[in-house]
Every structure is written in C-alpha cells, then in structure tokens.
A and B are shown apart, each in its own frame.
Chain A
Amino acid sequence: MSLEKIEGLIIEILHELAEEEKFKSFLEANTDTPLYGGSSLLESIDLVGLLADLEDAVADEFDIDIIIADERAMSQRISPFRSVRSLTNYVQKLIDKVEVE
C-alpha cells in the first residue's frame, strides 16, 4: 500500500521535472525508469533536488521526516538511486525504521 504511494510521489516529481525539455521522457516514467547512473538523464545536482523534493513529499504525505541522501545511502552495496523501484524500496525502509523507533 505504502510502496505504491511512495512510487506515486516519485513519479509525480519526475513529471514535474519533465516540464524541462531535457527531461521530457520522464513523462513516461514507471517502476523501471533509471534514475542515477548508467543510462539515466539525471546529473548529481538533479538527484539532490529530486531527493529533497521527495523528502518534502514524504513529510507531507506520511508526516515523517527522513533524510534520504546520507552516508548510509551512499554506502549501500547496490545504490538506492539506480531506479524508481530501488528508490521506492529504500524510502520504504527508511519510513519503516522511523515507525519502529
């Protein structure tokens, strides 16, 4: 349930980005859309902005404050920023962790 919602938030942000010509293809963003690294369109500075927007959206939606871009995220064996799916899963983990605490 929550996974779907998180993915929805990410895709909504990608749709906003798609207003810029170079991110036009994000209009068709889905679970498998690559975000950062490989064939992705995002540069590090775009990713920083996207994650900040996502933190805001999560705070609005779930009333939970999380920090996505921290050392832990960077030291994951597989980057959580690879695709919409990996980011969704990672954010879910962060939310679960806050809820447990």
Chain B
Amino acid sequence: MWLTNKFIEEYAEKEAIVFDGKVYTYQNLYDRIKHYQKIIDQEITEGQVVAITSDYSFESIALFFALVHKKTIIVPIASTVQEEIKDRIEESKTDVVLSFDKEQLIFKKRDPSEKHEIINKLSTSKHTGLILFSSGSTGRPKAMVHNLDNLINSYQGRKNKRLVFLIFLMFDHIGGLNTLFNCLAMGVKIVIPTDRTIEAVCKLIEDHKVNILPASPTFLNLILIGEGHVRYDLSSLRLITYGTEPMPESLLLRLKESFGRVKFLQTFGTSETGITKTQSKNSTSTFIKIGDENSEYKIVDGELWLRSKTQILGYLNASMERFTTDGWFKTGDLVEVAEEGYLRIIGRNKEIINVGGEKVLPSEIESILLTHPDIIDCLVYGQANAITGQAVTADIVPKSTNEVRQLKRNIKKFCKERLDRYKVPAKINIVTKTNFSSRFKKKRIQDT
C-alpha cells in the first residue's frame, strides 16, 4: 500500500509516534505493522469484519494498518463503556474482536448472523472497509460504512513536513482518523495523549514541542479556565485547529488574545462525508470557505448540504433519509452566508430552541454570555415550557458563587441590553461545570 510504503521509502528515520513516554520511528511503525500482519495472518481472512477495542496507541495504529493490508473491514471502538462496546460489536456484525492485554493481542471470534449487503459488496470487491458510529446524542448510534481504501487514498500526494502534531480526537472518530492519515502521509511526528485532561495535554505540548493542536472549542475554553497556557510553556504551538462543534466568536477572540501568535483554523467534516478542506477567513474569524477538490456543497433553507468522493456507502442500521437520491448529504448544520463565498456554521438544526414560534440558536446566546465578565463557561438549551412551548435556559459557570441571586439578575439585564427579548434566557442555573461529553463536546440535547 502506498502509505505504508512511504514509511520505509521516505520517512524511515523520522520520528513517527510518541506514546506513553516512548518515541517510535517510521521504521519501527513499519516493522510493527509487519509483525501484526504475521500474527493475524492465520486467524483472520480477507473481507472479515474486525473490531479493535482500543484508543490510539502505537500498537493499535500498527494493528490498524496490518488489518488494512489484510483487506478487512475495521471497526475501531475507543469506548470504555462495556455496554457500548457490546452494542457496537453486535450492530457491526463483527467476526473477530481484537483487544490488547498489555502488548499481547487477544482474539475473540464470533459467529454473527448474515451480513448487510453493503459489507458483502465491499468484501467481494476486495476493498478494505471502515465502520464508524455516530455519537447517538439523539437516538441509537448509527453504524456507517466507509470504503477505507478510498478514504486513505484521498491523502495521497501530501508532501514531507517537519512538524509535531498532537492527536486529540479519538480512534473511532472521523476527525481523529483524519488527523492520523494526514500526519502519516506527511511523515510528521504524532504525540498521543494517554489521558485527555488539560494538565496531561498541556504537559505533552511543552515536553514534545507540539506545533499543531486540533481540539474542540469546549476543550480550548477549559485550557483558558485552568490557565494551562500560563502554567505550561506552549510557545511551540503554531496552529490550533478547532471543530466538532460551533466556536463562539467571543471565545475565539479570548483564545487569540491568550495564545498570541498562534494561528486558529476551523476544520469541518462529518462522519458521513469525511473531512472537507476549509479555509478560515483569518485567525479571529469564524467564517470559512469550503474549497475541496473532493467535495461540493450547497445551502438549502439555511442548511449545509455536502456531496463528497469520500462519503459513506451507507448505514447498517438506519435509512438513507439524510441523503438525497442524487447523493447530497443533509448535514444538519445551519449556516450563515457572507460575501465572497464565506460561510459560518451557527448550530445544529436539532438544537434550535423554539420560543413561541421564534427560533433561537444556542450559539448566539452563548457567545453573548461569554462576554460577561463574571461568566467563565455556559451552555444554552431549550427546556419544555407550557406557555411558549420551549424556554431558553442557560447553565452558567460563574467566576464566583457569591451573591447568586444578584448575579442571575445581572446576567438577565446584560442579555436584555444585547438580545431580542425572546432570546434572553428565562431560566438561569448556576453550575460548577457545563454538560459536555467525554469527548469535550457540549451536550445541548439530553440523551434519550
């Protein structure tokens, strides 16, 4: 395969992966892939569905590429919740479950019922596959099937770079895989956290002089709250990319102020279509331009629609209702259009709050709230209300919890001066932490 060939032909001596205090070169990675190829050769056959229950590690990455060589259909599962792992194995009709016991590879063979037509097609056409799951914040997680050869091939032609990346997103996330493929195609050094706390991540950036940090706005705000940028030397950072949820403009401005010369770029993608190349207008702007030879876009009723060469073949457990018959994917992301082809993602259509028929976007309110001097974090969502259907509710993390009543009053007044009446939070809850997922993404819709 072209990518793993590059590991020895072009990058052999370069450092590839830093994990758990150890540094591995591209040669080491290549050798480890060969090692796993030998191990799996007798146990696994082409076209089988194989789950890897592990987050990123040197071992899991090597194993992943051994499975690519074997032309299997890979299900990366980074969850540590047993119930979730079980569900994903069931839903994907996995044949073999792989896990690590220290460095020992454990095989668990299963005998799943008949495979989905999409999987059979992939197997017979001798393509590798990838099954990813949606986060399932609004229902059962959907199992999505990618043609993995096609996805990896979209990184062909990347030039050799001398950079250090930190992988923040997880092994089973399209954004996490994008960073991995992108990094390996460029032969850069990848630093993998064993724990995604601010302390651990900031320490890794300092120790390994990380240049590029992909993260979510929620996580970046946590760095500011915890003053990670003050307590650690993060001066090696040149670029921070952010995505997976809308960036409040006020937070972006605070970040830019706190991180000085670092450039900020927004990334955009969906599990269904892959990552789309975008360009931020500048480091303090949340406007982006989509310019990707592999995908096209259009805006229908304020919603972004994408059609890409790397989109999924289909779902194993859901209908294709979000795809049109001519292949457009309705992303569910609402956008605002500006001049010169710039767009701004303003929220998810499912998160819109309907106050007596008026539509409210949580991100707009959050961005205003974050400019209040006594607020360090917030989360805005709709709560059922018998009078207006829904009412705007804000969870607020204040700088200090003295004078709560006065603070609430003050916040309402602050909002009334800056927002239309129906957008002002009716209910304010003072909390110590906003509700975000283990993947540092804010949860505005309760799990069902």
Which A residues form the contact surface with B (CB < 8 A)?
Answer: 16, 19-20, 43-49, 51-52, 55-56, 60, 69-71, 73-74
Contacts and interface: CB of A to CB of B under 8 A. Distances in A.
A44 B356 contact: yes
B405 A49 contact: no
Contacts of A45: 355-356, 388, 421-422, 426
Nearest to B384: A70
Given A48-B355, A56-B405, A74-B387, 19 more contacts: A19-B413, A20-B416, A43-B421, A44-B388, A45-B421, A47-B387, A48-B391, A49-B424, A51-B387, A51-B426, A52-B426, A52-B427, A52-B428, A56-B408, A60-B405, A69-B385, A69-B386, A73-B386, A74-B386
Contacts, number: 42
B409 interface: yes
Contacts of B426: 45, 48-49, 51-52
Contacts of B408: 56
B415 to A, nearest CB: 10
Contacts of B69: none
B52 to A, nearest CB: 46
Interface residues on B, range: 10 to 19
Contact of A71 (B386, B388, B422, B428): B386
A52 B391 contact: yes
18 contacts: A16-B409, A19-B413, A43-B421, A44-B388, A45-B422, A47-B387, A48-B391, A49-B412, A51-B426, A52-B391, A52-B426, A52-B427, A52-B428, A55-B427, A56-B405, A60-B405, A69-B385, A69-B386
A86 to B, nearest CB: 15
A73 B413 CA distance: 27
Contacts of A71: 386
Contacts of A20: 416
